[in-house]
Amino acid sequence: MTSRLRWPAGALASLALLGAGYAARASTKAGNAEEAGKRWWAHVRYLADDRLQGRLTGTASYLEAATYVAERFKEYGLEPAGTSGYFQPVRFEVQRVVTAESSVALVRDGREEPLALGRDALLGSREPQPREVAAPLAFVGYALHLPEAGYDDLAGQDLRGKVVVYLNGGPRDLAGALKSHARAAQEFGKALERTGALGSIGIPNPKSMDIPWQRMALSASQPGMRIAESELQDTHGAMFTALFNPAAADKLFAGSGHTIAELLALADAGRPLPRFPLALALRARVATRVERVEAPNVVGLLAGGDARLKGEYVVLSAHLDHLGVGEPIHGDSIYNGAMDNASGVASLLEIARAMHAGGGRPRRSVLFLALCGEEKGLLGSRYFAGHPTVPQSALVADLNMDMFLPLYPLHYLTVEGLEESSLGDDARAVGAAAGVEVVPDRFPDRNLFIRSDQYNFIRKGIPALAFSFGAAPGSHEEQMKKDWLTNRYHAPSDDVNQPVDLAAAARFNQLLLALAERVAGDEARPEWKQTSFFRRFAQPGTAH
Ligand SMILES: [Zn+2]
């Protein structure tokens, strides 16, 4: 395949310069990478073992995982930097939808057509659901509210008392990061509340679905969560939320003069979508059970070595939680989350260990953060960004590691947020030195920019990046990654019995270590690009 044959220019030059000595040195390095990869894998094995039951936020097994991380932080010389030793406890409200006691129907001319929950539609569990809703439906295109970009699907329509239906994605001429931002719960929930709508039904686009519908349906029994503190919640009343199976979506469009095929064709061509009333009303009853739980973020500090810059903090983050125990697939009900995201926490630990073993201290302080509640809506990071354990204005960057997928050698590194801040330039420089090509995300409609914890730092004005292994378009590696998402992502088979390239994982850790050291050691504080949309979140005096 082309990506395997493609040598970075720097690597060719050093081969030519170093001559015969290079091969011996390279093989030693490969041996080291293999060893380092095994150390990394030992953390993954511990955290993703069946014994840890999938580390669901709020469970005893999550707490055991958090204790493991705190013990390693201590062993690697990090100081406790939580509110209770290494821990920063967070309180959550948990909502479970009881499908057996719930019902959803479409009503036309007084006639009710019941929907099959699971097959046709899934009820959302994150926002508090109303016990009953009866409302007309309106299709609002992509439901993107981006007035500053001159695009607003919610404007100019009377949506009061209605439930809106939308298709995921957005017009091609809008930047991916912007579309993702408008899709984030914080933005979308607020925008929808302002219209007076009673709720929303999202239709995923099959072209950008990571998880097939059947597997999404299996996860419907899993609980939703939100932070118990009301200032950190997205909506303040009940809001009907559901997802509709794209394969069944013509049920929604009956009598409207439109079809899902027509709308998907427009979406796949990157075109704007029409907005129109639907010929149907929705009638739903939603039964839920609500409880409260608590779970900690884990925070460790490596104090900086420069008298002046040590008061500033570079955050390295990775979420520790996963989905716990759920519906069995092939007889396995433990959702171990080995790549999602024991892998990122293992990298966090290995980087801490390497910094400690290196003996020196970067000029800035480095904060190591293992987060709870990511799978439930980036909640641990939202709590930390809202209640940082160091002064918020002193947080200068976040480098987030979540499911970077070392399935094959590291030739390309995809970086979320690459064009938004000077951190992207740092990533490119560190990548070039390691012979790794740093590339932007080629699939922005997967919304990865807002799908992990870095986004909560961005919302507080702190430049941030997230990382995953890239692949050349059309390559075998690209197919491997797609297959992984289809078969293992959020499935019990994301466990320790899967093929992983340990040496490639170790190289990733090396690269992230180098990046963290570069950012922590640089005289200049990271800054947003003048052109970045997200610059607006920067606190006065920190944007430059
Ligand atoms: Zn996940």
**CA 318 / ligand 1 centre spacing (Å):** 11
Element (H, E) at 111: strand 111-114
| pLDDT at res. 27 | 43
**CA 375 / ligand 1 centre spacing (Å):** 5
Which residues face 318 on adjacent strands? 370
* Across 79-85, average pLDDT: 98
Tell me which of 430 and 33 has the higher pLDDT: 430
**CA 141 / ligand 1 centre spacing (Å):** 27
Scored b (16 or more CB within 10 A) or e, 253-285 reads: beebebebeebbebbeeeebbebeebbbbbbbe
**CA 285 / ligand 1 centre spacing (Å):** 29
| pLDDT at res. 13 | 33
Does the pLDDT at position 513 exceed 70? yes
Residues in the chain: 544
**CA 322 / ligand 1 centre spacing (Å):** 6
**CA 403 / ligand 1 centre spacing (Å):** 8
Tell me which of 73 and 450 has the higher pLDDT: 73
**CA 378 / ligand 1 centre spacing (Å):** 10
* Across 493-511, average pLDDT: 97
Question: Considering all CA atoms of the chain, what is the largest pairwise distance in Å, rounded to the nearest integer?
Answer: 83
Of 171-180, 439-448, 522-531, which range is least confident? 439-448
- Would you tell me how many other CB atoms lie within 10 Å of the CB of residue 359? 7
Give the CA count within 13 Å in the CB-facing half-sphere of 196. Answer: 7
| pLDDT at res. 359 | 85
Does the pLDDT at position 167 exceed 70? yes
Q: DSSP string spanning 284-308? A: EE--EEEEEEEEEEEEEEE--SSTT
| pLDDT at res. 4 | 27
The dihedrals phi and psi of 504, each to the nearest 5 degrees, come to: -70, -35
| Contacts with 70 (C-beta within 8 Å, 6 or more apart), sequence order | 80, 85, 86, 87, 298, 300
- Of 512, 405, 505, 508, which Cα lies nearest the Cα of 42? 505
Res. 199 pLDDT band, cuts 50 70 90? very high
Which residues face 281 on adjacent strands? 107, 136
* Across 491-516, average pLDDT: 97
Interatomic CA distance for residues 382 and 86, integer angstroms: 18
Burial class (CB in 10 A: 0-12, 13-18, 19+), 39: middle
* Across 165-191, average pLDDT: 87
Res. 24 pLDDT band, cuts 50 70 90? very low
- Of 119, 131, 192, 189, which Cα lies nearest the Cα of 161? 192
Does the pLDDT at position 5 exceed 90? no
* Across 351-378, average pLDDT: 95
**CA 511 / ligand 1 centre spacing (Å):** 23
**One-letter amino acid of 219:** S
**CA 437 / ligand 1 centre spacing (Å):** 26
The dihedrals phi and psi of 236, each to the nearest 5 degrees, come to: -115, -10
**CA 143 / ligand 1 centre spacing (Å):** 24
Helix 422-433 to helix 502-521 angle (10° resolution) is 130
3-state secondary structure of 450: helix
**CA 341 / ligand 1 centre spacing (Å):** 7
Tell me which residue has tokens 């992509």. Answer: 142
**CA 452 / ligand 1 centre spacing (Å):** 9
**CA 323 / ligand 1 centre spacing (Å):** 8
**CA 464 / ligand 1 centre spacing (Å):** 19
Which residues have a beta carbon within 5 Å of ligand 1, which is an ion?
A: 340, 375
**CA 364 / ligand 1 centre spacing (Å):** 31
Q: Where would I find the H helices in 196-305? A: 213-218, 250-253, 260-268
Percentages helix, strand, coil for the chain, rounded to the nearest 5? 40, 25, 35
**CA 491 / ligand 1 centre spacing (Å):** 10
**CA 16 / ligand 1 centre spacing (Å):** 43
Interatomic CA distance for residues 386 and 392, integer angstroms: 8
Interatomic CA distance for residues 27 and 502, integer angstroms: 15
Does the pLDDT at position 101 exceed 90? yes
**CA 314 / ligand 1 centre spacing (Å):** 24
Which residues face 449 on adjacent strands? none
**What is each CA distance from 64 to 47, 56, 320, 376, in whole angstroms?**
9, 11, 11, 19
**CA 17 / ligand 1 centre spacing (Å):** 44
The structure tokens listed for 151 are 């695009």
Tell me which of 21 and 168 has the higher pLDDT: 168
Does the pLDDT at position 543 exceed 60? no
* Across 255-266, average pLDDT: 97
**CA 202 / ligand 1 centre spacing (Å):** 19
| pLDDT at res. 151 | 93
Res. 29 pLDDT band, cuts 50 70 90? low
pLDDT digit string, tens, across residues 319-346? 999 999 999 999 999 999 999 999 999 9
**CA 96 / ligand 1 centre spacing (Å):** 18
**CA 524 / ligand 1 centre spacing (Å):** 34
**CA 150 / ligand 1 centre spacing (Å):** 33
| pLDDT at res. 92 | 97
**CA 402 / ligand 1 centre spacing (Å):** 8
Sign of the torsion formed by the C-alpha atoms of 124, 125, 127 and 131: positive
Q: For 67-80, what is the HEC assignment?
A: HHHHHHHHHCCCEE
**CA 489 / ligand 1 centre spacing (Å):** 7
Does the pLDDT at position 140 exceed 80? yes
Contact between 208 and 172 (Cβ < 8 Å):
no
pTM over 0.75: yes
Burial class (CB in 10 A: 0-12, 13-18, 19+), 402: buried
Tell me which of 431 and 30 has the higher pLDDT: 431
* Across 139-164, average pLDDT: 94
Which residues face 240 on adjacent strands? 199
**CA 340 / ligand 1 centre spacing (Å):** 5
Mean model confidence pLDDT for the chain: 91
**CA 36 / ligand 1 centre spacing (Å):** 25
